[in-house]
Amino acid sequence: MHAIQAVQRGDRAPFRLLVERYHRRVHALVYRLVRNPADADDLAQQAFVNAFDAISDFRLEMRFSAWLYRIAINLAKDHLKSKKRGEEQLGEHDEGVAAESALFCGAYESPDVAPEQAQRARLLQQALATLSWADRTVLVLKDIEELPYEEIKQIVGSPVTALKIRVVRARARLRRALEAQAGEGAL
Amino acid sequence: MSRRDDDDLLAPLRAQKPPRPRGDESGRFVSEVMRQVALRPTPARAPPPRRRALWFSVSTIFASSAVAAALLLGPRAPIAPRTTATPPAVAAAPAGTVRVRLTLRAPDARAVAIAGEHNGWAQTDCRRADDGTWTVELAVAPGRYRYSFIVDGAFIGDPAAALAADDDFGGKDAILVV
């Protein structure tokens, strides 16, 4: 908290403490959303730069990580939108493929994961990519990052009860997407 | 598959460790951020807490009358111009509250509910009439509330609302001013 106040007073050196503390978490979150390590690097860096520029807007009653996550999520959203738009303009892909390629171009796979698990994770990622941005975001925050609802509330700005409803419904939609995938595979 | 199974659908993705930031081991990621930060102008000082502007209060009063009138007349009815009188109650409301009726025409919907700040975003089911209109009556204390109709599980805001605000999920919440 002292570091934030010092930066707000115009001392930029303590900002390093904030970057050191949060950069892995921000990077992991962005990576979960864009699924491209290089893009995650750029977006996570940009999130910190944007946070520095806007630090005077930060209110100490908020959780800093939630504020930072919100900046990072908005950047990831804009990035995927512009990437998809660019691919549509090139005319190389239809919408579905564009969305999928945005998620899998340069995708990273953890070396310790068994092939079946990796395949399962790929299918899940494909199903996740068919959901709306809002559904995908709440599922990444709740079911992958395992953040408490109170923190997600600060990140996305929705009340906890509404979030709980959204999470339940997003999980159901994910399950239906997986079932549809399995149906297509059986054809 | 049950709802309980849904809760852990994403376990395989959770088990996958994300890559570390480029150059993390050598501290290059942090250094690169700080290099970029050094090029930025010093952030503006935080402004003092703002007092609520008078125009906001005035517009709220006008919006309150118009929206409440619209709600009481139904979504298809035009908003009564320059209405300033207190709208009549739909039914007897508990002391300190105003009873409002919200309606949505959705003949093809299987289930319609409403959730909003008036009750902590708990869902309240709406009743369907024969003409495909769904209705709910709420007793709410005077104030300003975000709300949304939920049609077959989808939050759609309220297409008939005079006021709306971003819901941070790419959609809109309607705003009820009583």
Would you state the pLDDT for residue B49?
A: 41
Q: Is the dihedral of CA B30, A138, B8, A147 positive or negative?
A: positive
List the beta bridge partners of residue A153: none
Is B28 within 8 Å of chain A by CB? Answer: no
- Say how far apart CA B102 and CA B145 lie, in whole Å: 13
Q: What is the pLDDT of residues A132-162, one digit of tens each?
A: 989 999 999 999 999 999 899 888 878 888 8
Q: Is the pLDDT of residue A33 over 90?
A: yes
The stretches of chain B forming alpha helices (DSSP H) are 3-7, 11-15, 28-38, 54-73
Would you state the pLDDT for residue B95?
A: 77
Would you state the pLDDT for residue B123?
A: 65
CB spacing of A159 vs B13 below 8 angstroms: no
Q: Could you give the 3-state DSSP secondary structure of residue B166?
A: strand
Would you state the pLDDT for residue A95?
A: 38
ipTM metric: 0.81
Residue of A27, A74, A132 best to disrupt the B interface, most CBs of B under 10 A:
A27
Instruction: Give Cβ neighbours of residue A28 (< 8 Å, ≥ 6 apart).
Output: A145, B18
Low-confidence ranges of chain B (pLDDT < 70): 1-6, 44-93, 119-123, 153, 167-171
Q: Is B163 in contact with B67 (CB distance < 8 Å)?
A: yes
- Say how far apart CA B149 and CA A78 lie, in whole Å: 27
Region of residue B11 (phi > 0: left; psi between -120 and 50: alpha; otherwise: beta): alpha
Q: Which residues of A touch B8 (CB under 8 A)?
A: 143
For chain B, domain boundaries: 51-177
Q: Could you give the 3-state DSSP secondary structure of residue B165?
A: strand
Averaged pLDDT, A23-29: 96
| Token pair of B112 as six digits | 């319609």
Q: Is the pLDDT of residue A12 over 80?
A: yes
Q: Is the pLDDT of residue A78 over 80?
A: yes
- Say how far apart CA A154 and CA A53 lie, in whole Å: 20
Q: Is B114 in contact with B141 (CB distance < 8 Å)?
A: no
Q: What is the pLDDT of residues A92-115, one digit of tens each?
A: 433 333 344 444 444 455 556 677
- Say how far apart CA A92 and CA A145 lie, in whole Å: 33
Q: Which fold has domain B51-177?
A: Immunoglobulin-like (2.60.40)
Q: Is A173 in contact with A61 (CB distance < 8 Å)?
A: no
Closest-CA distance, A2 to chain B, in angstroms, reads 15
